[in-house]
A and B are shown apart, each in its own frame.
Chain A
Amino acid sequence: AQSVTQPDIHITVSEGASLELRCNYSYGATPYLFWYVQSPGQGLQLLLKYFSGDTLVQGIKGFEAEFKRSQSSFNLRKPSVHWSDAAEYFCAVGGVSGTYKYIFGTGTRLKVLA
């Protein structure tokens, strides 16, 4: 079945530490890939996206993600986390089977320690 997996439900890091959030997808072809961030009670803000070309993509707020076809992964990274990064992060895929909908992972909640 087609799916998006975010294996880490919660992650806690200290401010200034590096961060990596994992995302794996299960589809036959390479879909469009997205990372969104959601603060409590808010909508989703796009951090970055991948659809072709360079497999390392840069996003807003100092985030980057790397697409690895061999691993069906699209992990999100940040070299130095700020307290304001505490939020929930969602990986999503689009463009699957000719549909325009997104399929989201279950999210990773990030906690940042001062």
Chain B
Amino acid sequence: DTGVSQDPRHKITKRGQNVTFRCDPISEHNRLYWYRQTLGQGPEFLTYFQNEAQLEKSRLLSDRFSAERPKGSFSTLEIQRTEQGDSAMYLCASSRLASQANEQFFGPGTRLTVL
């Protein structure tokens, strides 16, 4: 396994701009998750996909946030009209459908700074 990869690793943007992050899961992992981690906090669940279907979304995922996984492989997370409160680390994770305890493997994260 090459591990979960995320791009970019860092993103600085101005308030009001749109940003898009990409996550490449471990190959053959059917489930893909997005979490957000703010300073001094644990990761908070945003959404998850099973193959290309988005099966659960958190209330944290406002209308400005959208996530896709069009072919059941990589996923993108877009934030429109960014706000300073969106500044956080965005973590992606993946897991196999048949894994015991649904063990999730995390990527290195994308750190977003909104000025």
Contacts and interface: CB of A to CB of B under 8 A. Distances in A.
A95 B109 contact: no
Contacts of B107: 43
A45 B48 CA distance: 19
Contact of A32 (B44, B102, B111): B102
A104 B106 contact: no
Interface residues of A, number: 25
A51 B40 CA distance: 27
A51 B31 contact: no
A90 interface: yes
A59 to B, nearest CB: 13
A11 interface: no
B33 interface: yes
A101 B91 contact: no
B41 A46 contact: no
Interface in A69-114: 90, 92, 94-95, 99-107
B108 A42 contact: yes
Contacts of B105: 46
A44 interface: yes
A90 B42 contact: yes
Given A41-B111, A51-B101, A94-B101, A101 B106 contact: no
Interface of A: 4, 32, 34, 36, 41-46, 49, 51, 90, 92, 94-95, 99-107
List 6 tightest A-B contacts by C-beta distance, closest first.
A104-B42, A51-B101, A32-B101, A101-B45, A44-B106, A43-B108
